Amino acid sequence: MSSDLAHKIRLIRETETSGRAEFSELIGVPKKTLIGIEQTGRVPKGDLLSAICNLWPKYTLWLMTDQVNEEAGQISPEIERARQTLKKTGTDTESRDG
């Protein structure tokens, strides 16, 4: 479980920030702590998970249960990356029509 959670944290970091330093600052943990979680699968403390969920609530359901509910705004980093790609390529009909 902890390695799955560490992997999920890394996916969120890679999707939402420019790197570990920025992510660490945003969630209020030392960069070394984040490295320890991502590289060793160390179990993160609840306050770290809470900080991530407060900053990026769209990932809460996925982070905690591995499920998504797009209608409720609960997505995964993979969905967010696909949305970003669509916007970059100009094939996002929502941004053109809305």
Which helix or strand (DSSP H or E) is residue 50 part of?
A: helix 46-55
Nearest to 4 by CA among 55, 73, 62: 62
Q: pLDDT tens for residues 12-56? A: 999 999 999 999 999 999 999 999 999 998 889 999 999 999 999
Question: Domains, the chain, ranges and CATH?
Answer: 2-97 (1.10.260.40)
Residue 96 reports pLDDT greater than 80? no
Q: What is the DSSP string of 57-79?
A: GGGHHHHHHS--BGGGTB--HHH
* Amino acid of residue 11: L
